[in-house]
Structure 1
């Protein structure tokens, strides 16, 4: 209807004309759990930067009224990931063969950054944005669409499960640790080696490619400028950077225990800021930092400056094996903490499956973390070869691979 101020138009984001309107919506919308403290995100002046590193991406805006005010935004991307595994038969004949698990891939779409201006909610804007993004997903051959939302955000959960036919799929944990004013001591019993990107790719493909959500283009992730490196922990005296034999030789004869993780620099994509803290809380946090800087040898757990924009390092690709793997993962996380301190970050964060065996070795503060993040999924079409059936009905595994490009 011409002139109707309630008409909603969903269209592709135009960086030349929409930047200010999008920033206005972003600054009015908090992220994470709602409460007395609110968490806000600043996308470093680039509204589409959170999906730009993905193979295929799109950003849509919703505008309303004759003035074409931007009142909602959504981002989405598409990639190919592991959705299951099957056994392949290796051998020269049917009498001598081995069965090796190989990944089954699917084309997966991801929704993130759905925002609707607080003054324009309950008008169906979020639903229109989701439907518009799903149309693009289907046009580009995505078989599944999924998203992550706060389990306590009933409005978001209801939108996706009731109105958009998504189903609750996985409930991983977000583990967040502050970066202290002092360096964390890393166990002297562990040697940490930084792998070249080609070695890291080889290790991930050979050992973790059947992990759920493993990205087929892992090489693009590891070679991205935001990836600060992949780090391997082994028992002291096993290897060194100078005597490292390469991933293939390492996996052919690995030590009894080892762990690995990679670090992604979210600080160059966005910053976070906690708002709504009382003067008392700010003063207490400042006091912990002052004492920690003055007496670093006490290794007091200080609260970083989170009441102004701060950066985050995301830890991904966590894995390993062996009786000492949990202790080695703790050493790797300590090393990652010190790296984040050098880069001026306020927090390190990771996301792992609820049953991940290595989570006991991941330091985190319970008050900053989320025990149950909610991932919802929807099947958009059937383009598979039938190897795993309907992924939405599959039971969870022990581990997931969280793509840092979607953080």
Structure 2
């Protein structure tokens, strides 16, 4: 019998949804026999990338029956890969001269959702899918490609680093906080403003555009229907009302913090499978007690053994000695908003050395202390004001995580 031919082609929503869902279910995260995490893409396998400027999904099929045995998703955007001193500024020790930095952008591709059916692994299907998506990346002008995976996913890391030419690049942390049955009490000495997308864009571009991976189309994200708002926290004695972004940027308080909330609940649902009756019982009991006695503020476990949604926090930033405390207040506001929306958890992803990390509540058991981002240079660096080979650049204190790709 001859070797079965593997065909990689573009995803067809009309005929491929059932086959893709079967592959996804077979590839649930988690070792056999233990609790695993299943992601339900709300019946639309391409929903996680459709909000990106350019995107593609490929499937691998095999045999005369054209069984789908693998899939991969990819998208392309323009992001910050470094910074340079502007022509109007100059390097000097003179305190009267302001050194201005401007972002250096590059066209970046992101590979996500690589899946190969367990019964068809070690056949080169993963490599074929990655090669095919990279061809599309290059045809569309991408200069770099990156992927993210858990540090324990040895098979994926080995495929990308040993066979596809990627290098380990950054090690951010995914921080997850459960949504309790009680509301989080917000500090009285902190004032929180919800600002307009226009003010948010102005603030982000002026203060965070030189942060690695900052998306050039931040306006598209802030105006997306999935964006639930941008919030700024300041000490109560600073402003009585929001002064507008121009005044805030010109006369910003000593301490402040900012974050935006993305409604991932409308894109996908998660479900923890394989939990024992004991664990399910303890989780249920904690919620019942928390709901009955909310003033005790018991850290109850949400219903994660059924499909649940999440809100994703992004664009976290701030300045000043109280920025960590202000960030914690913003996370409290986000928790209460997620509770009203019926979410199970809050999630965010930050650089491992992010200064504001101490202000982000999370449970270690639900979080991932070390996510692995691997990157590959696809061609010459055509970015405006080249910074050399980005794959060899040292990490900064912060990283901007695009909510469209979480």
| TM-score above 0.5, yes or no | yes
The answer to whether residue 391 in structure 2 is matched with residue 392 in structure 1 is yes
Instruction: Report how far residue 98 of structure 1 moved.
Output: 4.2
Instruction: Report how far residue 287 of structure 1 moved.
Output: 0.3
In structure 2, distance between residues paired with 1:134 and 1:176: 31
In structure 1, distance between residues paired with 2:196 and 2:2: 58
In structure 1, distance between residues paired with 2:106 and 2:400: 14
Closer, same or farther in 2 for the Cα pair 1:156/1:208, shift >3 Å? same
- The DSSP-based 3-state class of the residue aligned with 2:87 is strand
Instruction: Report how far residue 251 of structure 1 moved.
Output: 1.2
Aligned residues: 402
List aligned pairs for 1:284-299, cutoff 5 A: 284-299=282-297
Deviation string for 1:287-312 (max 9, x for gaps)? 00000000000000000000010001
> 2:360 corresponds to which residue?
362
Instruction: Report how far residue 368 of structure 1 moved.
Output: 0.5
Closer, same or farther in 2 for the Cα pair 1:32/1:166, shift >3 Å? farther
In structure 1, distance between residues paired with 2:32 and 2:214: 31
List aligned pairs for 1:72-87, cutoff 5 A: 72-87=70-85
> 2:199 corresponds to which residue?
199
Aligned-pair Cα RMSD in Å: 1.7
> 2:151 corresponds to which residue?
151
The answer to whether residue 237 in structure 2 is matched with residue 246 in structure 1 is no
Closer, same or farther in 2 for the Cα pair 1:354/1:34, shift >3 Å? farther
- The DSSP-based 3-state class of the residue aligned with 1:249 is helix
> 2:401 corresponds to which residue?
402
Using the size of structure 2 for normalisation, the TM-score is 0.96
> 1:124 corresponds to which residue?
124
Can you give the 5+ residue segments of structure 1 that lack an aligned partner in the other structure? none
> 1:51 corresponds to which residue?
49
- The DSSP-based 3-state class of the residue aligned with 2:99 is strand
- The DSSP-based 3-state class of the residue aligned with 1:17 is helix
Can you give the 5+ residue segments of structure 2 that lack an aligned partner in the other structure? none
Closer, same or farther in 2 for the Cα pair 1:35/1:387, shift >3 Å? farther
Contact 1:90 1:97 in 2 (8 A): no
Contact 1:107 1:144 in 2 (8 A): yes
Contact 1:33 1:152 in 2 (8 A): no
User: Which one of 24, 34, 50 corresponds to residue 26 of structure 1?
Assistant: 24
List aligned pairs for 1:247-262, cutoff 5 A: 247-262=245-260
Closer, same or farther in 2 for the Cα pair 1:179/1:251, shift >3 Å? same
Instruction: Report how far residue 237 of structure 1 moved.
Output: 3.2
In structure 2, distance between residues paired with 1:28 and 1:196: 43
> 1:140 corresponds to which residue?
140
- The DSSP-based 3-state class of the residue aligned with 2:55 is strand
Closer, same or farther in 2 for the Cα pair 1:68/1:4, shift >3 Å? farther
In structure 2, distance between residues paired with 1:267 and 1:73: 23
> 1:305 corresponds to which residue?
303
> 1:338 corresponds to which residue?
336
Contact 1:33 1:153 in 2 (8 A): no
> 1:374 corresponds to which residue?
372
- The DSSP-based 3-state class of the residue aligned with 1:345 is coil
> 1:234 corresponds to which residue?
234
Using the size of structure 1 for normalisation, the TM-score is 0.96
In structure 1, distance between residues paired with 2:229 and 2:25: 32
The answer to whether residue 65 in structure 2 is matched with residue 63 in structure 1 is no
In structure 1, distance between residues paired with 2:154 and 2:309: 28
Contact 2:107 2:383 in 1 (8 A): no
Contact 2:54 2:77 in 1 (8 A): yes
